[in-house]
Structure 1
Amino acid sequence: MKIWSLVTAAVLTAGLTIVPAAAETIRLAVTDVEGMEQLQREYGGFVEELEKATGLDVEFTPVNNRTAAVEAMRAEQVDFVLTGPAEYVVFAKLTDAKPVVGWHRPDYFAQVVVMAEGDIKSVADLKGKKVAFGEIGSTSQQLGPAQVLADSGLKYNADYTAEIIKRNVAVEAMIRGDVQAVGMNFGHLKSVREKFPGQKFAVVGRGPDLPNDILIAASYVKPETVEAVRKAFLEKGDVLMAGVLKGEDTQKYNGGYFVATVNDADYNSVRAMYATIGAPEFSKFLGE
């Protein structure tokens, strides 16, 4: 104790300040959000809680698209990426990224939607017709709906004509009769019903729940850092989700939860969807 007192006195006498070690910084990207402003708006609340839970500094890394996110990870410019199921299988193919935690979205499944008072009453009725998919490469707007049709015996863009059309434009085309069905998820159908209140829509095909969105870590991130992040989701999941839900687009996670045990094999169903639409190598992002 006397030695410590002498050392302390010496430090104080010399006017020196003991500076605590700086917190480790991790860099985070989100593949479906462009620009720093939107990242801050949608995920700022989450990052604030993640920093408290881990003791790490979290820095946003904006990316223009999914390919840019892959290139950033290859160049060791980003450490963690939040992405969707279809994107994950491409990341797994092109990088050594590892799953960290799943982000469960409630009622996240693909559907094939038609006009309720039209001629289409079943998936079989779509043979020889036109089906619109809202976004190329989207798990719930293209891959999932195409798999729903395939599971009912309709081969992609062979037994019917597949068209890529923005969702609301596609719905307008369906109302006019220019296309006979639109692929979308449950949340999309809810918003479509709100946007077109005078129209009646029906679901002729529904797939199983889709795999979770997923937070992945680059291979060069220290194992103890990855574990610290995973532990935060395990122990502070409710607090982190409350931070996530401070955003607007992030409301898709409302009612969801985090899954700390997530494996690459959980996404084999998505790989099968790629094969269904004729892209079995899943070595690039469709449409980019």
Structure 2
Amino acid sequence: MKRLWITLVLGICMVWAGAVWAQTQGQQLVLGISEGTSGGLDHAQVIAKYQGLAEVIGRAIKSKVSVVFAREFKQLEEGMQTGRFDFVMARPSDYPARGMRDYGYSYIASTKPDGQCFIIVPKGSALKSVAELKGKRIALPEQVAYMSRFCSAELRDRGIQLDKESVQYVREQAAVGFYLDNKFADVGGVASYSGIAKKWEKDGNRILHKSVAQPYFPMVAHKRIRPEQLKAIQAELMTLPDSESGQEVLKRIGIQQFDTGSETRMRDLLKWLNI
């Protein structure tokens, strides 16, 4: 009787282990992608852009990984909340951070370069430091936007409380530059990876201040992905710059490389943003 009981227990354990294995081996997993409000790619273009990355992930864990475009933030959050997405790579970074905090997702990596808030001023501005922003007209993306919260947190840490300043919130980051160019504002805040930031100095303007760096375009995994699989994916991502095919994957996505050492900053991000 005892031997029969042991056999039964072992059989149940094997069935359970097989079910867990089937969740992440030999079946199609889903990589949810969000590029935020930037760009204008359709679903087919996003699949083409990230299919190489999906194949890298799949190769690491011996599974097929398909790409799904989360066009709306609501779709992205629901995909994490329901566990529809096995993997998520998204910007802005607060969404993957919420996946970790609220929905049990695990950190895999972020990308390089990191993201920063650039405090910018137009050519001819007399401003020399962040401390001089008090009493000035400040232009930021719309108040609920990730970068607006990012810049707000940075300025808060530098002694500038935006609720006590004259702040104009605009719909798009490009509009921040318009406000400065047309003297509707004295200073603005934009993302380091935005189009306006990349050309601001080339146009003869100045970046007054660069914020602390925070993880950019992070990738996280549902809790069904096992720790050894996470490590295998991380190892595969870190080798991408070492081969022509890997470099092509990175180039297609538009990043320099992956960073697997930003987990602590990811876990602290929402607290820093006061979200």
> For the structure 1 residues 206 and 231, does the alpha-carbon distance in structure 2 shift closer, same or farther, using more than 3 Å as the test?
closer
Structure 2 gap ranges (5+):
1-24
Q: Say if 2:46 is the partner of 1:42.
A: no
Task: Give the SS at the match of 2:78.
Answer: helix
Percent identity over the alignment?
A: 16
> For the structure 1 residues 81 and 88, does the alpha-carbon distance in structure 2 shift closer, same or farther, using more than 3 Å as the test?
same
Q: Say if 2:120 is the partner of 1:121.
A: no
Root-mean-square deviation over aligned CA pairs: 2.8
Question: In the TM superposition, what is the alpha-carbon distance from 1:69 to its structure 2 partner?
Answer: 1.5
Q: Tell me the equivalent position of 1:160.
A: 166
Q: Tell me the equivalent position of 2:249.
A: 244
Q: Say if 2:221 is the partner of 1:217.
A: yes
Structure 1 gap ranges (5+):
1-21, 276-281, 283-288
What is the number of equivalent residue pairs in this alignment? 243
TM-score, normalisation: structure 1? 0.72
Question: In the TM superposition, what is the alpha-carbon distance from 1:241 to its structure 2 partner?
Answer: 4.5
- For residue 131 of structure 1, the aligned residue among 123, 126, 138 is 138
Question: In the TM superposition, what is the alpha-carbon distance from 1:190 to its structure 2 partner?
Answer: 1.9
Question: In the TM superposition, what is the alpha-carbon distance from 1:234 to its structure 2 partner?
Answer: 4.2
Q: Tell me the equivalent position of 2:207.
A: 203
Q: Tell me the equivalent position of 2:98.
A: 90
Q: Tell me the equivalent position of 2:20.
A: none
Question: Separation in 2 of the partners of 1:93 and 1:151?
Answer: 23
1:92 partner letter? M
Query: Residues 35 and 63 of structure 1 are in contact (CA less than 8 Å); yes or no, is this contact kept in structure 2?
Result: no
Question: Separation in 1 of the partners of 2:51 and 2:150?
Answer: 30
Query: Residues 237 and 258 of structure 1 are in contact (CA less than 8 Å); yes or no, is this contact kept in structure 2?
Result: no
Question: Separation in 1 of the partners of 2:167 and 2:53?
Answer: 42
Q: Tell me the equivalent position of 2:3.
A: none
Query: Residues 110 and 210 of structure 1 are in contact (CA less than 8 Å); yes or no, is this contact kept in structure 2?
Result: no
TM-score, normalisation: structure 2? 0.75
- For residue 192 of structure 2, the aligned residue among 161, 179, 186 is 186
> For the structure 1 residues 149 and 261, does the alpha-carbon distance in structure 2 shift closer, same or farther, using more than 3 Å as the test?
closer
Question: Separation in 2 of the partners of 1:261 and 1:208?
Answer: 16
1:28 partner letter? L
Question: Separation in 1 of the partners of 2:208 and 2:127?
Answer: 8
Question: Separation in 1 of the partners of 2:142 and 2:249?
Answer: 24
Q: Which has the larger radius of gyration?
A: 1
1:56 partner letter? S
Question: Separation in 2 of the partners of 1:187 and 1:75?
Answer: 30
